[in-house]
A and B are shown apart, each in its own frame.
Chain A
Amino acid sequence: MSQTEDLTESERPDGAEETPSIPPMPNRAKDVLLQLLRTRRVIIGLVLIALLAALAFLGPVISQWGIGERDFTARLEGISPDHWFGTNHTGQDIFTQSTAGLQKSLLIGLLVALGSTVIAALVGSFAGYFGGITDRVLMWVADLALVLPSFVILAILSTHFVGQGGWLILVILLAAFSWMVTSKMVRGLTISLREREYIHAARFMGVPPHKIILRHILPNMSSLLIADATIMVSTAIIGETALSYFGLGVQPPDVSLGVVIANGAPYATTAPWVFLFPTVLLVVLVLAVNMIGDGLRDALDPHSKSRRS
């Protein structure tokens, strides 16, 4: 009996050829996916988001009214075949306004989340991996961004949000003021990952630092980043709504849900539809996003695992 064969034999799972009789250590990705699909709220959230996205992009198209167009014959009128969600005090069609607003809110949420997560991931991982002066400088910048009166800056600069693509400035500003907390979390995780043995191994075999960060560190916290980005989507949508409510967010002629809600708020008691429809859309949107985010976090974050795991 030769050596190698014997050793090969000693570790090969017995019984059927390729069914390992190893204790349950299933594929993590598959496990997470299964768990996600078993989590009802993720499914509901995904379905809702799909429906809302369809509504947001099809709504303004199938509606017979243009965005901002006024029907002077019907002001503050209830639900009718002409105006599916009624009209507001200037005669704008609520359905058109709401779906167009939904579209913008959705875009803002996604873009802000994407932007801030990318910044957070890069800043946090470089600060955490290199430590020392890099760490101090980057974290000082994060602290500064935290102290800067973001609300004041957004409010003062809101006059620049007007015009074609003006809302993109809002997106950039929102992203610029929402990466700090996540980056600190990423930094903390990086510091703990940095001491993992596979990182040491990569270092000792001569892999350069930026490659270690991009190939080992960030992929290993990707699940958390995804979950966090999802939560960020809802935070951004809520933040934008609040700003727009006071006229400091998206500027006309662009509409977001916040704008529509703000227009409808004074009539909430007398003509509920002007307030109700956009609000319901907003709440459902945020709820759906939160459901996905929370489900993801539960499924991916070993710390928030249930006791039964």
Chain B
Amino acid sequence: MSIDTAEATENTTDEPTSEVPVLEVTDLNVTFQGLGGNPDVHAVRGVSYAVHRGEVLGIVGESGSGKSVSSMAAMGLLPDHAVITGSVRLHGEEILGKKDKEMARKRGKVISMVFQDPLSGLTPVYTVGDQLAEAVLVHDPKAGKDKARARAIELLSLVGIPRPEERYRSFPHEFSGGMRQRVMIAMAMANDPDVIICDEPTTALDVTIQAQILDLLRTAQRETGAAIVMITHDLGVVAGFVDRLLVMYAGRPVEIGDVDEIYYKSRMPYTMGLLGAVPRMDQERQGALVPIKGNPPSLSALPPGCPFAPRCPIAQPECELAEPELLTIGGQPSAERIRELAVAHEDASAGAREKDPEERIHDTGVRRAACIRSGEIDTNDWTARDIYPVPEIPEVEASSQAREDRAEMLRVDDLIKHHPLMKGAVFKRRVGTVYAVDGVGFDIREGETLALVGESGCGKSSTLMEIMGLEKPQRGTIEVMGKSTATLGKRDRFALRRDMQIVFQDPMSSLDPRMPVFDIIAEPLRAHDVPAAEVVERVYELIRLVGLNTEHATRFPSEFSGGQRQRIGIARALALEPKLLVLDEPVSALDVSIQAGVVNLLEELQAKLGLAYLFVAHDLSVVRHIADRVAVMYLGKIVEIGDTTSIYTRPAHPYTQALLSAIPIPDPEKERARTHIVLDGDLPSPANPPSGCRFRTRCQKFITLSESEQERCVSNEPTIQPTNGGDQGTACHYAERLTVS
């Protein structure tokens, strides 16, 4: 029943014909041996896929699902202590078990890879050009330095690095994340490989840069005709990009098929839940997200049955008997047959395993799912909302009142935060000023959620820190609950901290790892001299409020999963009963299935406690889901502000339009039909912002204007003007109504 070793794959086709897949992975298993008594980790179990020339295969899964490890194994990049079995064929040639020297000849030449983190992916001490030239030289030593250099420059310009000759001599740290990723792609393309494996190539990047990189990958594919394996956790990224999709869970492939089939007719509850858990940017009032309860299983102690069964809403007793095979829809054995097999298996023990893997483990191109109820799901045509219980979230009471009548929780006017730009780690000195926040203004009313969105470096976090510091700002005013921070005394400031608390992005670093949960949640209470007896009562109340168990109180943060840690952070923030909660990217570090639960919790708490939220995020899909109003920031300024519906349906600022357009939608048909506005270049340095309108250097509208019209953008800085009537305001001289698909 379970998959056997891959000796069964003897039907090697010797002649590489067009029929032979470029890359074929069959029944790949990777186990990391545990050290010193630690259990082995089964990172990949029975993965099979095949990609043909020009085809794009997506591999989707949450963190720890084994999607990266399987491709690293194919590249021969795993460390020695990984035990790999199965088969990896390149043009029909078995490459698993080849010596490093032979593999090195294939790597970068036939099969190449783009990694996730461009920050650490390039050697810091060599120039970008030299590293690129090395990729050419290593496969063609006779080419000579000059030729390799010429090719490197050619590649740099191909991937859209401006002034490639000059940039050849730059070091990696002088490049932005997006540019480094371009270099990585150039490196992967250098020798016209037949397969390019992209491991989360856009995860560390901002949406507008992501759009550029995805565009570039399409170009790369066109140029080289290579097959692409696209590994990602982002269901939006793959929707419009791939032909076929493989979904992984706990090291196993759980569903494979054409991208449309998977998105519209998913037949595996995990995939269904995943799709239901994604907040959608293209849907107004989506309702509560579908949370998948629980957490993925530990890869070192897997349950005997379906690994998803403990989290599955439609699990049956049979699910826990044996791990379901990846079979065609309806091809799964019946519940009775599974019970029989389980009994037979126990009798026969390991000796007489079923050995008919031929048919099953190969990727035959047919859509398959690893769920014994896949047939049932298919017949009934269930969707996520049919099988998952969706919580109902009450409306905020205050929302019945008009916005103007509600109390002001926070008002920021013309806030600036400039800080010195230092250069040199050894010889530190000031070389300029960073205009991190440069005249930002907004207000938040009771029970309302304002989202502050923008790409990294736009100043949204600096704005938060300024607000949370409760100090007198360099310029402008911050008023919390009607009190200006400029006039606050030490005592008042301390007292005001009760009313405003913060939840941070990284659930790893937002909790002191040396403190048990109880002390973490009690800290704000103790700091404000709440009597000990009340502290205990309040802490347990909070623990229950955020959906944790009371017995969790004595444990340490490291014992919790990301979602649970974020709940602890929320409990701590709520301890002093604040009226305003500042949320700094509270869900961006979480997996989709976990994220949904936290988003639902935040919405529920808001309704229950009447909180106001200042929600800072770069993920516009989550924002659309949770926010009442949205403020879009660019280079230290707000360029557009207004109620969520207006902003999303009628964005008036070109930047907002580009931002919305850049986000991929997890809907293959819609996604294929869209044309993305792809912005040029990177965010300019906040130390040296462009004159006039700060966005003009990248503006898609600017280039369409006549010279005299452009003059206004260059010399006049636009201020926020009411647009489209009502609440919406835009800082653009040529703002217009527009509906973005």
Q: Name A residues whose Cβ lies closer than 8 Å to a Cβ of B.
A: 1, 3-4, 6-15, 18, 20-29, 35, 38, 196-198, 200-202, 204-207, 216, 219-220, 222, 306-308
Contacts and interface: CB of A to CB of B under 8 A. Distances in A.
B310 A3 contact: no
A308 to B, nearest CB: 5
A21 B563 contact: no
Contact of B294 (A13, A196, A307): A13
A198 B512 contact: yes
Interface string B592-627: 000001001100100000000000000000000000
B561 A22 contact: yes
Interface string B77-107: 0010100000000000000000000000000
B559 A20 contact: yes
B350 interface: no
Contact of A219 (B514, B563, B564): B514
Contacts of B36: 35, 38
Contacts of A15: 303, 310
Given A205-B501, A205-B527, A11 B547 contact: yes
Interface in B287-311: 291-300, 303, 310-311
Given A7-B604, A20-B559, A205-B524, A196 B509 contact: yes
Contacts of B311: 14
Interface stretch (B359-367, B385-393, B675-683, B698-706): B385-393
Given A26-B558, A219-B514, A7 B600 contact: yes
B436 to A, nearest CB: 15
Interface stretch (B336-344, B548-556, B633-641, B711-719): B548-556
Contacts of A307: 79
A219 B300 CA distance: 31
Given A8-B549, A14-B310, A220-B512, A22 B37 contact: no
B497 interface: yes
Given A7-B547, A197-B504, A23 B512 contact: no
Interface string B450-485: 000000000000000100110000000000000000
B567 interface: yes
Given A4-B547, A11-B548, A197 B393 contact: no
- Interchain residue pairs A-B with the least CB separation, the first 7: A197-B510, A7-B547, A197-B504, A205-B524, A14-B310, A10-B293, A206-B497
A200 B298 contact: no
Interface in B626-665: none
B233 interface: no
B242 to A, nearest CB: 27
Interface residues of B, number: 66
Contacts of A206: 494, 497, 524, 527-528
B697 interface: no
A23 B504 CA distance: 22
Nearest to A217: B512
Nearest to A24: B298
- Residue in B504, B510, B514 whose Cβ sees the most chain A Cβ within 10 Å: B514
7 contacts: A3-B604, A4-B544, A11-B597, A12-B549, A27-B555, A200-B468, A201-B569
B184 to A, nearest CB: 23
A28 to B, nearest CB: 5
B506 interface: yes
B180 interface: no
Contact of B297 (A21, A25, A222): A21
B502 interface: yes
Contact of B295 (A9, A18, A23, A35): A23
Given A14-B294, A22-B295, 18 more contacts: A1-B389, A3-B393, A4-B545, A7-B601, A8-B544, A10-B597, A13-B294, A20-B559, A23-B64, A25-B559, A25-B561, A27-B555, A28-B556, A198-B509, A200-B465, A205-B528, A207-B523, A306-B35
A204 B604 contact: no
Contacts of B560: 22, 25
B377 interface: no
Contacts of B501: 204-205
A3 to B, nearest CB: 6
Contacts of A1: 389, 391
A189 B393 CA distance: 44
A198 B510 contact: yes
A7 B288 CA distance: 12
A13 B560 CA distance: 10
Given A25-B560, A200-B504, A205 B497 contact: yes
B572 interface: yes
A306 B558 CA distance: 20
B293 A9 contact: yes
Nearest to B494: A206
Nearest to B564: A11
- Residue in A11, A202, A219 whose Cβ sees the most chain B Cβ within 10 Å: A11
A204 B510 CA distance: 12
Contacts of A201: 502, 504, 510, 569, 572-573
- Residue in B81, B504, B527, B547 whose Cβ sees the most chain A Cβ within 10 Å: B547
B190 interface: no
Contacts of B511: 198
A22 B509 contact: no
Contacts of A21: 294-295, 297-298, 303, 310
B558 A205 contact: no
A7 B571 CA distance: 14
A307 B80 CA distance: 11
B509 A197 contact: yes
Contact of B561 (A3, A4, A14, A23): A23
A15 B523 CA distance: 32
A237 to B, nearest CB: 31
Contacts of A207: 523, 527
A30 to B, nearest CB: 10
B68 interface: no
B576 interface: yes
A204 B547 contact: no
Contacts of B303: 15, 21
B419 to A, nearest CB: 13
B208 interface: no
Contacts of B523: 202, 205, 207
B144 interface: no
B730 interface: no
B513 interface: yes
Interface in B527-582: 527-528, 544-545, 547-549, 551, 555-556, 558-561, 563-564, 567, 569, 572-573, 576
B300 A24 contact: yes
A28 B293 contact: no
A222 B514 CA distance: 10
A27 B558 contact: yes
B505 interface: yes
Interface in B259-302: 291-300
A14 B292 CA distance: 12
Given A6-B391, A10-B597, A204 B563 contact: no
Nearest to B79: A307
Contacts of B299: 23
Contacts of A23: 64, 295-299, 561
A197 B295 CA distance: 24
A7 B605 CA distance: 11
A306 to B, nearest CB: 8
Contacts of A13: 294-295
A258 B657 CA distance: 77
A200 B502 contact: yes
Nearest to A23: B298
Nearest to B467: A204
Contact of B505 (A14, A20, A197): A197
A308 B81 contact: yes
Contacts of A8: 544, 547-549
A15 B559 CA distance: 17
B392 A204 contact: no
Contacts of B564: 11
